[in-house]
Structure 1
Amino acid sequence: MSNKNDGGKRSARERMQAERAKQEAAARKRRQLTVILAALVVIAAAVVIGIVVQNGRSSSYNAAADAPAGTVGNTRLLIPVGGTTAPSTVTIYEDPRCPACEQFETGMKSTINQLLAQGKIQIQYHIASFIDRHDGGKGSKNAANALACAQNVGLFHNYHDVLYANQPDETNDAWADKTILISLAKQVPGLDSPAFESCVNNNTYGSWVTAVQSDFDKSGYNSTPTVLLNGTSAYSTYNGEDISPANFTKWVDTANKGKPLASIPSASAQALASPTAHNNLPASAGAGHS
């Protein structure tokens, strides 16, 4: 009888211990779930805050107050070069640090400047700055702001050509040093001034630079240079033909057939028609930076 009672007591204790272990395991799971849920809440909050901050940055841009003079478009994010009545529009998305953009500019500058001087095209530039984000650094944004400073005094195109002629290696964030950008302005008559230096040093058009990049992010394009002729991609092929000075001229002339050309002042036309770049596209020019 005693043995039977002892066995019953042990069995009861074992059941109680098993039940207690089960309850403790359930409690641990509840605590773990609570910790996980708390972590997810923190992560979600961080994501929301990030989105709000980014949206705030985009919405802080005021086209009327923050864009350099002469920019165009609904939110004044585009820099136009050439006659406003030109029959064809060339749209160019470029990042100042992009080596493929430098190849395009070196190879096509003479041809493009001649087409501008003849009143055949207007260029609309989108100055992107995403390489800073990909490679690290500040050079793209600093250079984009400096280009906006040049645009504000009507010297964007000249300074643009100088920057690409003096572009550092992509992995060398040389333009993080704003004094280099200021020094390069000495190569553009009329640009080097205390006002330009202040504009570069104070990042006067920083919000505009951010807005232009945000617009590029939303554009559906993901590499530079992206070049469009009347809205159709021209880089690196157009209607199945590779881009080259001769082909680009042919494409423009075909698009312009029967259309009046823009009237360009003789002094401006003469300056554009006397470029210093070679009129040959480098053999290495190909897909843009992505």
Structure 2
Amino acid sequence: MSKGVKERTKAKQVVREQLARERRRTVTLWTTVGVIAVLVIAGLVGWGVAAGQAKDTAGKLTVPPSAVDDGTAFARGSGPVTVDIYEDFICPGCRQVETTTGPTITGLVQAGKVTVRYHPIAILDRYSTTQYSTRAASASAAAADGGKFLEFHDALFAQQPPEGGAGLDDAKLIEIGRSVGLTDEAFADAVNGKKYKAWATKVTDTASARGVVSTPTVFVAGKPLERPTPDALTAAVEAAGA
């Protein structure tokens, strides 16, 4: 074989090897791009699923296990006369009624005359900038899970924020919960995670369907009490019991 032929053959071999290396690099490059694309798509899908689950959780209706009256209220006492109290935690009138009739209600419960059903509703969200009525009602349901509904209920009214402001933030609601014995993370998680937000909406809608248009609204044995004073409440309970 002549020297020229040998050189041409060698040159062709070099070219073939270079082309082979280029093909291998191209395959490797596109394989890498493909893997990255798959990972990105998987990440987006995973994020989408997680976001969807978070949205579903926030909007999911969870009824507190201890709730009574079709899951809309929390009971106190076991007497024969039922007293239903519909109240909003930002409502000044509700706080006043709780302050004036609270001792009377306690006395009637202790005497075994009444079963009191508290309905925490949220019809006054427009009077705060953070939907405080809904958040407070939701937090009260979380407190019921910890067996501290009444204590939390009373503490919320004792620290009631003024209408027209932001209301108490979630951190303050959790702090109030701790002050009445709700020290585990379950309560804080329920408040921060809005576990009972959908429930608060349902309770409010149910109250509206029952004709409740303002707070406080009190029923004794199914009949509205026009003036929820201590004397009027006692007289209505005695009449219903008779």
**TM-score normalised over the length of structure 2:** 0.71
Structure number with greater CO (CA < 8 Å, separation at least 6) is 1
Deviation at 1:136, TM superposition (A): 4.2
* Alpha-carbon displacement from aligned partner over 1:166-193 (angstroms, at most 9, x marks no partner): 1011122222x101111112331x3222
Q: Hey, what does 1:230 align to over in structure 2?
A: 221
Counterpart for residue 282 of structure 1: none
**4+ residue runs of structure 1 moved beyond 3 angstroms?**
133-136
AA partner of residue 218 (structure 1): A
In the alignment, structure 2 segments of 5+ residues that lack a partner are 1-55
Q: Does 1:141 align with 2:126?
A: no
The alpha-carbon deviation at position 61 of structure 1 amounts to: 5.8
What secondary structure sits across from 2:214 in the alignment? coil
Residue matched to 1:70:
66
Which of the two has higher C-alpha Rg?
A: 2
How far the C-alpha of 1:130 sits from its partner, in A, is 1.6
Structure 1 position 134, deviation (Å): 5.4
The answer to whether residue 206 in structure 2 is matched with residue 221 in structure 1 is no
Q: Following the alignment from structure 2 to structure 1, what is the Cα–Cα distance between the partners of residues 203 and 182?
A: 23
1:125 aligns with 2:118: yes
CA distance in 2, matches of 1:130, 1:256: 31
* Partner Cα distance (1:124, 1:116) in 2: 11
Of the three residues 90, 95, 111, the one matched with 2:88 is 95
1:1-290 to structure 2, matched below 5 A, reads 62=61, 66-74=62-70, 76-83=71-78, 86-133=79-126, 135-175=128-168, 177-188=169-180, 190-236=181-227, 243-257=228-242
Q: Distance in 2 between matches of 1:79 and 1:172?
A: 28
Partner residue in 2 for 1:14: none
Aligned residues: 185
More helix per residue: 2
Deviation at 1:217, TM superposition (A): 2.6
How far apart are the structure 2 equivalents of 1:156 and 1:222? 24
Task: State the match for 1:25 in structure 2.
Answer: none
Secondary structure at 1:126's aligned position in 2?
strand
Cα distance in 1 between the residues matched to 2:101 and 2:69? 25
| Structure 1: stretches of 5+ with no match in the other structure | 1-56, 237-242, 258-290
**1:152 shift after superposition:** 1.2
Tell me how large the CA RMSD over aligned residues is.
1.9
Give distance in 2, aligned partners of 1:217 and 1:249: 26
The Cα shift of 1:164 comes to 0.6
Match of 1:43 in 2: none
TM-score (norm 1): 0.60
